[in-house]
Amino acid sequence: MSKVVLQAAGLKKSFASPNGPLAVLRAVDLVVHAGESVSIRGSSGSGKTTLLQLLGGLETPEAGEVFINHAVQGLVTPRKLLGHGVGFVFQNYQLMPELTALENVVLAAKIIGQSRVEAKARELLQLVGLGDRLRHLPSQLSGGECQRVAIARALINEPAVILADEPTGNLDETTGKEVMKLLLDVVAQRQTALVLVTHSREFAEKAGRRLVLAGGVLSPA
């Protein structure tokens, strides 16, 4: 079996609510191997985004631990966010509006101290089909194109795993299918693991392993 790139054990997370603590994740365990794709479905409010934030170190669990490439994942500072073995793709792209497509991808590498990354960023933008949109601002790109930039950005630091939270949620059906195909193709080509949160049964079924989050635990779909 290939090596483990992400391991979560006993993750627990609650939020304060007017009626007392709201237990969102009760005991989440997950092991993802290099190059593996895993989909997670679950009803709205079941805790999928919360789980990805814990996996990526954007939030800390109340109990349990996350390991990326065997290192314990503490709370991640913005500087470390994009360069610690994890790449993120969000539903709403989260591009910097004042930067071009190329600059958005370059920035993700510069944040972790990489220099001379422009050629690599150009290559990745070509890979996602945007070789002729390098100087466009996000406002000059379509939704599908913005998400392609975000995929290139997620790849630039060669993460072990990409965490994608409803990456096609803002896209029309045809564009969503194209973006999903691209995401699955690039992770397969590069042997990058993928944890894909989606409401779409069709997309979830394209992953190598399918899980459902319900009642605060993950189980096979």
Ligand X SMILES: Nc1ncnc2c1ncn2[C@@H]1O[C@H](COP(=O)(O)OP(=O)(O)OP(=O)(O)O)[C@@H](O)[C@H]1O
What residue ranges bind ligand X (CB under 6 A)? Answer: 15, 24, 42, 44-50
Which listed option, Mg ion, ligand X, none, makes contact with residue 47 (CB within 5 to 8 Å by class)? ligand X
**Residue appearing with tokens 């973006």:** 179
The pair of three-digit structure tokens given for residue 98, joined into one six-digit string: 């004042």
CB of 20 to Mg ion, least distance (A): 23
CB of 119 to ligand X, least distance (A): 37
CB of 120 to ligand X, least distance (A): 32
3-state secondary structure of 154: helix
Nearer to ligand X, 73 or 200 (CB): 200
Which listed option, Mg ion, ligand X, none, makes contact with residue 50 (CB within 5 to 8 Å by class)? ligand X
CB of 110 to ligand X, least distance (A): 30
Which listed option, ligand X, Mg ion, none, makes contact with residue 24 (CB within 5 to 8 Å by class)? ligand X
What residue type is 176 in one-letter code? G
Of residues 101 through 140, those in contact with Mg ion by CB under 5 A are: none
* Contact flag: residue 168 with Mg ion (CB under 5 A): no
Q: Which residues contact 149 (CB under 8 A, 6 or more apart)?
A: 93, 95, 101, 104, 105, 125, 128, 130, 138, 141
Nearer to ligand X, 15 or 98 (CB): 15
Nearer to ligand X, 23 or 34 (CB): 23
* Contact flag: residue 50 with Mg ion (CB under 5 A): no
Q: What are phi and psi of 9, to 5 degrees?
A: -135, 125
Nearer to ligand X, 41 or 120 (CB): 41
CB of 49 to Mg ion, least distance (A): 3
Quote the distance between the C-alpha of residue 209 and its chain's center.
16
Residue 20 CA to residue 175 CA, distance in Å, equals 42
Q: Exactly one of 7, 39, 46, 49 binds Mg ion (CB under 5 A); which one?
A: 49
Contact set with Mg ion (CB under 5 A): 48-49
